[in-house]
Chains A and B, each alone.
Chain A
Amino acid sequence: MNSHPASKPESPSRTGAGRFWPLVLVVLLVAGCRSNPKPKSNPALLKQALTYDQQGQLSAERAQWQAAARNWRDAADTYALLNRLGDQALTLRKYAIALQQSGQWEAAHQAAERAAQMHKKLDDQEGWWRNQVLLIQIDAAWGRTEEVNERIQDLTDQLATITSPGTLALLLNEIGLWQMRQSEVKAAIQSYTGSVEAFWRQYDDQGMATALANRARAYEADQALPEAERDWEAALKIFMQQGDAVGISTALLGQARTLAAQNKSPERARDLAQRAAENFHRLNQPAAEAEARRLLDQL
Chain B
Amino acid sequence: MGLFVLVAGLVLLLAVALYLRQVATVKGWFLVRSPYFTFVESAAGIRVGDKVRLMGLNVGEITDVETMPPFAPWNICVSFTVHKPYEGYIWSDSRARVVADLLGNRGIELTKGGVGGVPTYLFWELEDMPVGEALEIKEPHNWKFGAEIRDEDPDSPLTQLYEVVTRPTLRQLAALGTNTVRIFNTEDPHNRIMAMYDDKAGAYVPFDEHSKGFFVLQDEAPALTQLLEVVVNQVEQALPHVLSLTNELRALAGDGTNLTRQALAFLAETHVVATNLAALTTQLREPDGALGRWLLSEAMVNDLTATVSAARDTLQAAGSTARTADTNVTQISRELLVSLEHLSLMTSNLNAQVQANAFILENISTLVRDSDELMQGLRRHWLLKGAFKEDGTPAPAEDLMKPTLEPITK
Which of chain B's residues have a CB closer than 8 A to the CB of A77?
none
User: Are A207 and B402 in touch, CB under 8 angstroms?
Assistant: yes
Which of chain B's residues have a CB closer than 8 A to the CB of A211?
403
User: Are A130 and B405 in touch, CB under 8 angstroms?
Assistant: no
Which of chain A's residues have a CB closer than 8 A to the CB of B403?
169-170, 173-174, 195, 199, 207, 210-211, 214
User: Are B408 and A287 in touch, CB under 8 angstroms?
Assistant: yes
Which of chain B's residues have a CB closer than 8 A to the CB of A199?
403
A52 to B50, CA, bound (A): 36
A173 to B398, CA, bound (A): 20
User: Are B399 and A217 in touch, CB under 8 angstroms?
Assistant: no
Count contacts between A and B, CB distance < 8 Å: 80
Tell me, yes or no, whether A83 is within 8 Å of chain B by CB.
Answer: no
| Surface stretch bound by B, among A10-18, A90-98, A151-159, A263-271 | A90-98
Which of the residues B264, B402, B406 comes within 8 Å of A213, measured between beta carbons? B406
Q: In the assembled complex, how far is the CB of residue B323 from the closest CB belonging to chain A, in whole angstroms?
A: 46
Tell me, yes or no, whether B268 is within 8 Å of chain A by CB.
Answer: yes
Name the residue of chain B whose CB is nearest to the CB of A257: B408
A199 to B261, CA, bound (A): 12
User: Are A247 and B405 in touch, CB under 8 angstroms?
Assistant: yes
Count residues on chain A whose CB falls below 8 Å from chain B CBs. 49
Which of the residues B264, B268, B400, B404 comes within 8 Å of A173, measured between beta carbons? B404
| Surface stretch bound by B, among A24-32, A53-61, A103-111, A226-234 | A53-61
Which of chain B's residues have a CB closer than 8 A to the CB of A173?
403-404
Which of chain B's residues have a CB closer than 8 A to the CB of A130?
399, 401
Which of chain A's residues have a CB closer than 8 A to the CB of B396?
49-50, 53, 75, 79, 87, 90-91, 94
Tell me, yes or no, whether A162 is within 8 Å of chain B by CB.
Answer: no
Tell me, yes or no, whether A118 is within 8 Å of chain B by CB.
Answer: no
Return the CB mask of B166-210 against A: 1 if under 8 Å, else 0.
000000000000000000000000000000000000000000000
Q: In the assembled complex, how far is the CB of residue A282 from the closest CB belonging to chain B, in whole angstroms?
A: 15
User: Are A288 and B408 in touch, CB under 8 angstroms?
Assistant: yes
User: Are A170 and B401 in touch, CB under 8 angstroms?
Assistant: yes
Name the residue of chain A whose CB is nearest to the CB of B272: A203
Which of the residues B261, B394, B406 comes within 8 Å of A197, measured between beta carbons? B261
Which of chain B's residues have a CB closer than 8 A to the CB of A97?
399-401
User: Are B394 and A177 in touch, CB under 8 angstroms?
Assistant: no
Tell me, yes or no, whether B5 is within 8 Å of chain A by CB.
Answer: no
User: Are B394 and A50 in touch, CB under 8 angstroms?
Assistant: yes
Q: In the assembled complex, how far is the CB of residue A80 from the closest CB belonging to chain B, in whole angstroms?
A: 13
A133 to B403, CA, bound (A): 9
Which of chain A's residues have a CB closer than 8 A to the CB of B401?
93, 97, 130, 133-134, 170
A61 to B400, CA, bound (A): 9
Tell me, yes or no, whether A258 is within 8 Å of chain B by CB.
Answer: no
Sample of 13 further A-B pairs with CB below 8 A, known A93-B399, A173-B404: A54-B397, A57-B400, A75-B396, A87-B395, A90-B399, A165-B268, A169-B403, A195-B403, A200-B265, A201-B265, A250-B408, A285-B408, A291-B408
26 A-B residue pairs with CB within 8 Å: A46-B393, A46-B394, A49-B396, A53-B396, A61-B400, A87-B395, A87-B396, A91-B396, A94-B400, A97-B399, A97-B401, A133-B401, A140-B404, A173-B404, A174-B404, A177-B404, A180-B406, A195-B403, A201-B264, A207-B402, A210-B402, A210-B404, A211-B403, A213-B405, A285-B408, A291-B409
B contact set with A: CB distance below 8 Å: 261, 264-265, 268, 393-406, 408-409
**List of 7 A-B pairs having minimum Cβ-Cβ separation, nearest first:** A173-B403, A53-B396, A287-B409, A288-B408, A210-B403, A201-B268, A94-B399
A contact set with B: CB distance below 8 Å: 46, 49-50, 53-54, 57, 60-61, 75, 79, 87, 90-91, 93-94, 97, 130, 133-134, 137, 140, 165, 169-170, 173-174, 177, 180, 195, 197, 199-201, 206-207, 210-211, 213-214, 217, 246-247, 250, 253, 285, 287-288, 290-291
